[in-house]
Amino acid sequence: MALTLGTTPLNKIYLGSTAINKAYLGATVVFSGGSFSPTDLFGAGDKGFAFDLMDLSGANTLADQTGTTPGAGDPLGYLPGMSPNAQTASQSVATKRPLVLADANGRHFLFFDFDDVLVTTEGLESDTWTAWMVYEADGGDFLIMSNAGEKNPWLGVGIQGSSDTDLFPFTVVSAQYWYDNTIFSGTRGQSWAAAQGASLAIVETVNGAGWPEVAIGDYNNSGAASTPGKVYAWGVINRTLTAAERADLLAYADHVRGV
């Protein structure tokens, strides 16, 4: 939950120089800061998944979980999800596994080389879906998510210098973008530019057709586009998010990056 100043959600509040994680009105939580997790978004019956690199104790270097718990510099073959739906992300091909690395704050992230990809078996059926990704931009062309090994569908495109106004493929009815909770519309080039100054991408989409597997990383086995940069967290849920929930995700993006 987020407090607002007028209609603007507040991501952080302080007592002096100390950040406050929760504030109450009587027994009701009216602000939740660092304690928010994407698992809080999922109610009974909500579909989707959520992943981050905060806890790697259940992760493995191999997709069949016969390897070891990955640390900085190791490949990631398997990652358990955080949502109640028990989804996982995995990669069985050794040359396509992203690397787990650590940033200057000691926070783990995933580095995707041009042909690396993680796949989650989740059917994004004809429905409303919201996808998010926490990242640190590296200047490359990107797609937030795509149908594993296929040209379509995909979500969240940014291509440097592009004047193309197609922000969703023909298999998708509509898409709305936010970068750091600021609404966006324009060209693929403007989407790329907006992503460079942000750390959280959110894409709300209405799918016209289902797709059985969701991939992050290499698009269509082509090496033409990947993630926006270092990936700290990502997920999808089959509904729209409120302004307060988007603000919670933005505060969470700071938390997982240690800023």
How high is the pLDDT of residue 230?
97
95 SS3 class = helix
Kindly tell me if the per-residue pLDDT of 1 is higher than 50.
no
- Rounded average pLDDT over 68-86: 96
**pTM of the predicted model as reported, rounded to 2 decimal places:** 0.86
Structure tokens at 227: 């993630």
Taking CB atoms within 8 Å and a gap of at least 24, the contacts of 68-75 are 70/100, 71/100, 72/100, 72/101, 72/102, 72/108, 73/99, 73/100, 73/101, 74/99, 74/100, 75/99, 75/100
Give the chain's domains with CATH numbers.
1-35 (no CATH), 36-257 (2.60.120)
Structure tokens at 163: 């004047």
User: In the structure, what pLDDT confidence band is assigned to residue 17 with cuts at 50, 70 and 90?
Assistant: low
The verdict on whether omega for the bond into residue 153 sits within 30 degrees of 0, i.e. cis, is yes
How high is the pLDDT of residue 35?
72
How high is the pLDDT of residue 11?
55
Structure tokens at 239: 């509904």
Kindly tell me if the per-residue pLDDT of 4 is higher than 90.
no
Judged by average pLDDT, the poorest of 99-103, 159-163, 218-222, 235-239 is 218-222
Q: Tokens 């939580």 — which residue? A: 29
